[in-house]
Structure 1
Amino acid sequence: MSVSPELRTLEIDIPAKPDALVKLSLLLAEDDVNQQAVAALVESDMALAAAVLKAVNSSLYGLAGRVQSVQQAITYLGTREVAAITFEMGLRAAFPPAPELEPIWQRAAHRGLLMGRLATALGLDAWAAHSAGLFEECGKAVLFRHATDHYRAMLRAAATDADLCQLEHTGFGVSHDALGAALCESWGLGPAAVSSVRHHVTAQGLLELPGAPARRSVLALSVIAAAIVTMPPSVDEVVPQIAPQADLDTTLVLRATRKLLNDLQAAQAHGRGG
């Protein structure tokens, strides 16, 4: 998918989707996803496979024993989560390593996990939710690569993402949320994920969900994940405001969120203990 002409005139380069992720997307699009083919594809790229296994074996997932292969990771976590971790590693690899980007990737992994599992619990599109969480801040990486010193100063100066967006507009004529959405479109993510990335700063700041009603559920999960990670405001305050805007049942969302947090805390404690 091509980048919009408006962004092209700004001469800000959006990285192309890596070949491995193009092939992975084709496998995931099949009605009956072939797990062995997914594992073989990831393992065919040694650097990518090593990065995926390192992520799977981190305390974030809290698995009982050390996972030795991508196929074993799929057995424990399922195809969707391993595919999402692969996308996460592919996204990281598209940008030069930098200390300023590391917190962005760490938040992406945590947020993607939260959103994907919440979506599963609520019967929503888990792949759209997980990928939206992973890509939410990727526009920052695009701008950091485009003008490293200038953007490093912006990151230091901005107290909030809303403040950062204003600085970005002044300095570059575009903000990281719009750039992130453009990257999502060019990498073939679905409309709900693209919409979530495009509107997350506004939604999290105002607790209001813009965009088409049919695409609000993933964005709602983004706002809830932000409340989990950054509090305040707390989940108990955010969910009653956000869930109805996405036609989600407030009680069910609160129940799913609390269960997810308990499960993750138990898994991480188990992982550290092992």
Structure 2
Amino acid sequence: MSTPQELVACVERLASLPAVYHRIRALLDDPDSSVQDLANAVSSDAGITARVLRAVNSVLYGFPGKVETIGRAVNLMGMQQVHDLVLSTSVIGAFSGVRPARMHMIKFWKDCVFRGLAARAGAKTLGTGDPERMFVEGLLADIGHLVMFQAAPEATDAALAAAHKAQAPVHEMEQEIVGCDYAEVGAALANAWHLPNGFAAAIGAQIRPALAGPHVTEAALIHIANQILATGGEAEPDAAALALIDPMVAASLELDTDKLAHIRGIAEGEQDSVIALFFPAQG
């Protein structure tokens, strides 16, 4: 049996965020920093610069005309959105060399992208939360499973098999067999990497959003995205998703199958383009 912190400690030796991300985070926390300071920090890393410009000029943001410099990107998007975009590309890059033998990595990242897009579409459709922040939180919401399959592959695989056999929730079997679940491990990684306030709370409470405190809306949007993703193969996917969503979440956000269908449609429509953006070789 393992704690979330023990599993994260195993992976931290293999994956870490780049120095440029930490510089950007420090600038965001510094009230005296400027847009130019942030642009200079991003521009110091050629790989991240290329990914940010590719994203800014993609369907994900839809700005008119071509954005050719990081300075213009920061002016258009704002410092917070540039930070979040750098964070998402940095996490994907940090785990690029981590390929657990028992995981289908292409499917994992495609599901992560879909979850991020569904969380983003949910924020827009339901008129709550920051859509761009929700994309990043949704993208990272299942990162706990990547940690678990790397650090405790046999136990994690056994938990998934047991959940499938018993038709039980995965997190319950993970608690019983591994000692913790994917949401707890994801929150522990967010804390270990000192991600912005709210990431750990929202990721950690995605199963039971009411536990997220002031970040309950973010946790609820991830929770909704999870159920939309999980029911993609059902005959009536939106009715199936609604049945899985926490009743308190469904009631507070006035969810119905039409809203879920709208969110699902947006995520499905954007998925291929965004996968090509973050994973050019897989698009």
Q: 2:190 aligns with which of 168, 175, 184?
A: 184
Q: CA deviation at 1:143?
A: 2.0
Q: CA deviation at 1:133?
A: 1.7
Q: 1:13 aligns with which of 7, 10, 14?
A: 10
Pairs within 5 Å for 1:158-197: 159=164, 163-169=169-175, 172-190=178-196, 192-197=198-203
Pairs within 5 Å for 1:32-181: 34-62=34-62, 67-95=67-95, 96=97, 98=99, 100-116=104-120, 119=123, 122=127, 124=129, 129-147=134-152, 159=164, 163-169=169-175, 172-181=178-187
Q: 1:206 is matched with which residue?
A: none
Residue segments in structure 1 that go unaligned for 5+ positions in a row: 204-208
Q: CA deviation at 1:87?
A: 0.7
Pair 1:155–1:65, CA change in 2 (3 A):
farther
Pair 1:261–1:32, CA change in 2 (3 A):
farther
Identity %: 24
Residue segments in structure 2 that go unaligned for 5+ positions in a row: 232-236, 277-283
Distance, in Å, in 2 between the alignment partners of 1:130 and 1:191 is 16
Pair 1:34–1:156, CA change in 2 (3 A):
farther
Distance, in Å, in 2 between the alignment partners of 1:265 and 1:64 is 23
- Please give the TM-score of this superposition, normalised by the length of structure 1: 0.67
Distance, in Å, in 2 between the alignment partners of 1:102 and 1:29 is 34
Q: 1:242 is matched with which residue?
A: 249
- Judge conservation of contact 2:8–2:147 (CA < 8 Å) in 1: no
Which whole-Å deviations, capped at 9, do the CAs of 1:83-111 have from their partners, x for residues lacking one? 22211111112221547233333343444
Higher mean displacement: 224-233 or 236-245: 236-245
Higher mean displacement: 18-27 or 161-170: 161-170
Pair 1:25–1:110, CA change in 2 (3 A):
farther
